[in-house]
């Protein structure tokens, strides 16, 4: 086998991987990170040290998750999402992000250090989240602002899937 055709990932020291974890090509998992059961991690994703990820999460490709971040169960993180951990770089104090169960973070979103993403909330594509997001709330824009409820989002998604616009 050609050396370049091998799948290459970095899994740090003291990493705890749950059952059925799938890690795609060229991913980085930092030291002392915990990943729950049935998690999928996309290619080119960087999950730094001391991160905790719950079960049944899907993290798409090219995502950056910094140290000290805590992600709950059943969370979806779209491609190219960026979490930050230093609101005034380069400072000597870092702050993780908390993402509660059932949250959806869409492609290209950027989340400010220290923010809490509430249970079942949704961050739409390309949003810049600078403040905590309440549970069951959909936020959109730069900076992200509430636009409707998670129930409304789920209805829109089901209509989309049925081809109803």
Residue written as token pair 């992600």: 71
What's the whole-number average pLDDT of the chain? 94
Identify any residues that bridge with 38 across adjacent strands, giving them in sequence order: none
Q: Tell me what pLDDT residue 159 has.
A: 95
Q: pLDDT at residue 4 above 60?
A: no
Evaluate whether 82 touches 110 at the Cβ level (below 8 Å).
Answer: yes
Q: Tell me what pLDDT residue 23 has.
A: 94
Provide the CB-side half-sphere exposure for 56 (13 A, CA).
Answer: 7
pTM given for the model? 0.93
Q: Tell me what pLDDT residue 139 has.
A: 98
- The CATH superfamily assigned to 3-162 is Hexapeptide repeat proteins (2.160.10.10)
Annotated domain spans of the chain:
3-162
Q: Tell me what pLDDT residue 8 has.
A: 84
Q: Tell me what pLDDT residue 124 has.
A: 98
Residues contacting 129, CB < 8 A, separation 6+: 109, 110, 111, 112, 115, 117, 123, 139, 143, 144
Coil/strand/helix, residue 96 = coil
Q: Give the DSSP letter of residue 104.
A: E
Q: Tell me what pLDDT residue 2 has.
A: 45
Q: pLDDT at residue 108 above 60?
A: yes
- pLDDT tens track for 55-105: 999 999 999 999 999 999 999 999 999 999 998 899 999 999 999 999 999
């Amino acid at each position: 086998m050609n050396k370049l055709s091998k799948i290459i990932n970095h899994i740090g020291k003291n990493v705890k991987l749950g059952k059925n974890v799938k890690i795609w090509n060229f991913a980085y998992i930092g030291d002392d990170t915990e990943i729950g059961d049935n998690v999928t991690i996309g290619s080119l994703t960087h999950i730094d040290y001391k991160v905790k990820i719950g079960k049944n999460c899907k993290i798409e490709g090219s995502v950056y998750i910094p140290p000290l971040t805590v992600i709950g169960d059943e969370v979806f993180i779209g491609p190219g999402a960026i979490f930050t951990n230093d609101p005034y770089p380069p400072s000597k104090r870092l702050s993780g992000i908390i993402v509660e169960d059932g949250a959806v973070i869409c492609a290209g979103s950027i989340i400010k250090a220290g923010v809490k993403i509430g249970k079942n909330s949704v961050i739409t594509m390309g949003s810049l989240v600078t403040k905590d997001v309440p549970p069951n709330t959909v936020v959109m824009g730069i900076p992200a602002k509430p636009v409707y409820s998670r129930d409304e989002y789920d209805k829109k998604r089901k209509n989309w899937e049925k081809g109803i616009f």
